[in-house]
Amino acid sequence: MTIIVTGGAGFIGSNFIFYSLAAHPEDRIVCLDKLTYAGNLSTLQPVMDDRRFRFVRLDICDREGVYALFEEERPDAVINFAAESHVDRSIEDPSVFLQTNVVGASVLMDACRTFGGVRYHQVSTDEVYGDLPLDRPELLFTESTPLHTSSPYSASKAGADLLTLAYFRTYGLPVTVSRCSNNYGPWHFPEKLIPLMIVNCLHDRPLPVYGQGLNVRDWLYVEDHCRAVDMILRRGRVGEVYNVGGNNEMRNIDIVRLICRELGKPESLITYVTDRKGHDLRYAIDAAKIRRELGWQPETRFEDGIKRTISWYLEHRTWWEEIISGEYRDYYDRMYGDR
Ligand code: NAD
Ligand code: DAU
């Protein structure tokens, strides 16, 4: 197969490329990425010389460019990881989220149907379901939970999900959608909770916890997510949505305390800051469908995954130091300066 992987210079897309090239030596991967602030070509350095890999700098909204790439590569499948992915940035400015996450997805799907029923997988998120209350632990998101979004980010992702399912019903395009919970692991951009706390700890900087830190997320090691996407692409039923989750709910404050402990830093670094607007309280995924139909389940326990992740950040300082010395500084000042 030739697979176009969009957003492959970002966190999950790059992990997916490494996973897929190792798991399927017969496949070819073409990574299409605009290289926004979140995309990093140095991440893909280990596969740049692999004959089964090609990198193309392109915006998924660029219809002409995308069609030309399809003409040249004649892909069998497209996996769309490309997105604006950070909730806080979507609160600052929703417009680019609508453009990339909704319009970009439609351009890719138009190319898929124009070039003859190319398989399309939309990488979505559990955030499309909105949130769950903190005092009803028995409630979980299933694939039939109504979409009920809170942020411009999640609304744009929900828009793309609906569009994907509409392309299946209207044009018969062979699509699947996965909705995954919070990922963590290597190559995670340090604007997100876990890498931000690791990086700040390593600099003995304040650890900004939103509100009281009681919001709950369901954490999954990134490679487990990559394996789920791979299984859905190969064996998932077209027209279907699959939830993917870690069955590992944790409060933000407990994650931050754990990182302090692992790095031998004092909890006095923790600083409670103004809460995120519209902050979702709790996400929790019921992943019974993908377990039942495809036999997928998480393989990495959080206790192991978080240790591995922290070690990775200790061993890859150049990667993240480069990031935090650039545009990130302005972002950080804007976001946390007088919070
Ligand atoms: P990321 O922000 O780390 O990476 C996004 C990548 O997309 C970057 O390489 C960026 O350059 C690229 N990109 C952005 N706009 C583009 C455009 N217009 N054209 C081409 N490329 C573009 O994101 P991530 O955390 O790796 O998330 C990947 C996908 O998984 C997203 O669709 C996100 O919604 C979804 N998701 C993420 C998580 C998570 O915990 N990170 C969980 C569930 C689902
Ligand atoms: O659930 C899947 C989603 O997980 C993905 O769709 C998103 O792309 C991804 O960014 C992530 O969204 P969250 O908003 O849950 O992730 P984030 O790392 O931004 O925040 C996790 C929690 O930590 C959230 O409750 C907000 C809180 N937080 C975050 C930051 C960056 C803090 O308390 N302080 C911080 O500085």
Which ligand has the nearest atom to the CA of 13?
1
Summarised one tens digit per residue, pLDDT across range 268-320 is: 999 999 999 999 999 999 999 999 999 999 999 999 999 999 999 999 999 99
* Residue to mutate (ligand 1; options 85, 107, 188; most atoms within 8 A of CB): 85
* Cβ atoms 260, 207 nearer than 8 A: yes
Structure tokens at 49: 């010389």
Q: Find the 99 Cα to ligand 1 centroid distance in Å.
A: 13
* Residue to mutate (ligand 2; options 210, 212, 258; most atoms within 8 A of CB): 210
Region 82-97: mean pLDDT is 98
Summarised one tens digit per residue, pLDDT across range 149-194 is: 999 999 999 999 999 999 999 999 999 999 999 999 999 999 999 9
pLDDT exceeds 90 at position 260 = yes
196 lines ligand 2 (CB under 6 A): yes
Summarised one tens digit per residue, pLDDT across range 236-259 is: 999 999 999 999 999 999 999 999
Summarised one tens digit per residue, pLDDT across range 207-224 is: 999 999 999 999 999 999
Which ligand has the nearest atom to the CA of 195?
2
Task: Classify 214 as helix, strand or coil.
Answer: coil
Half-sphere exposure at residue 209, Cβ-oriented, CA atoms within 13 angstroms? 22
Domains identified in the chain and CATH numbers: 2-187+219-247+282-301 (3.40.50.720)
Where residue 326 falls among pLDDT bands split at 50, 70, 90? Answer: confident
Pairing status of strand 2-6 against strand 240-244 = unpaired
161 lines ligand 2 (CB under 6 A): no
90 lines ligand 2 (CB under 6 A): no
Pairing status of strand 175-180 against strand 119-125 = parallel
pLDDT exceeds 90 at position 3 = yes
Which ligand has the nearest atom to the CA of 179?
1
Where residue 123 falls among pLDDT bands split at 50, 70, 90? Answer: very high
pLDDT at 99: 98
Summarised one tens digit per residue, pLDDT across range 40-80 is: 999 999 999 999 999 999 999 999 999 999 999 999 999 99
Burial class (CB in 10 A: 0-12, 13-18, 19+), 158: buried
Q: Any idea how long the chain is? A: 339
- Atom of ligand 1 at shortest range from CA of 187: 3
User: What is the CB neighbour count within 10 angstroms for residue 133?
Assistant: 9
Query: Which backbone phi and psi does 44 adopt, to 5 degrees?
Result: -90, 5
Where residue 117 falls among pLDDT bands split at 50, 70, 90? Answer: confident
158 lines ligand 2 (CB under 6 A): no
The reported pTM is: 0.98
Pairing status of strand 249-251 against strand 216-221 = antiparallel
- Which residues form the catalytic set? 126-127, 153
pLDDT exceeds 90 at position 338 = no
217 lines ligand 2 (CB under 6 A): yes
Residue nearest ligand 2's atom 19 by CA: 192
